[in-house]
Structure 1
Amino acid sequence: MTTSELRSPKQVEDAAISFVMAQEATAGRMARDTRYQGAVADLVSGDRVVEVKAYGTTSRGETLWLEPRQYEAAKDDPDHFWVYIVENVRQGDPAHFRLLRLGGERLRQLLEKAKQRRYYEVPLPVAVYDAVSQQGD
């Protein structure tokens, strides 16, 4: 099978989700994709609620971003709320993906060090990007 580099964030996310669902099936848990359904996280798998964080390369030293409701769900029930980190996704070959699972006591410890941030998402439409990238300073 020939694989090619994944370019868009959606391609990276979709590949990570598919990979995690396959890994969960191997572990005897049937994962269900709950994205776009108003759920608190990406998947429900057995008794786990799973938020998947996809990284094109490595997550080493990075900060995990959780939505406020994800943080609350994880803090309220770290034994059932899991964060799965899928690394090395951008290269496209699932055989080279790496899965890190955070739950239970380890997740609880990480949540104790969480810092709340507030920010605004400002859209940057393609037309504006293209216009700005064509002009000099």
Structure 2
Amino acid sequence: MLVQTNYPDHPLLQDLVHNGYQHFAKQALVERKQARLPPFSYQALFRAEANYPSYPEKFLRSLAEITLENCQYAGPIPAAMEKKAGKFRYHLILQATSRKSLHLAIAQLLTAIPQNEWLSKVRWSLDIDPIDLNW
């Protein structure tokens, strides 16, 4: 394998080079467990976009105001590329310690969306077990 980088002294790259993939993967899993990230938790990602910057944030914020059992919100936060093709984009991450809790929470949020005052102003989507936050 050939790796090209601008950061050859980065600690993660150095760990991979000097200790091998097995050590690197085990360490990454330990860190993910400590941070309660997947595969030690379950996530869903609500995405919203609109022509005006405040609309997707307000849409997702109104979802995040709904109290859910055994779940936590992160966001809403601007997408990594906040504006793309003239649309403003935001994310809301939902995280739970069990898949059942996540699915119950998603069902509760999906039930609330038709009454959301910002629904007609945004385009939204839901990604269960998102691979990344790009959009």
Bin for the TM-score computed over the shorter chain: under 0.3
- Using structure 1 for the length normalisation, give the TM-score: 0.27
More helix by share: 2
Higher relative contact order (CA 8 A, sep 6+): 2
Q: Of the two, which has the highest radius of gyration?
A: 2
- Using structure 2 for the length normalisation, give the TM-score: 0.28
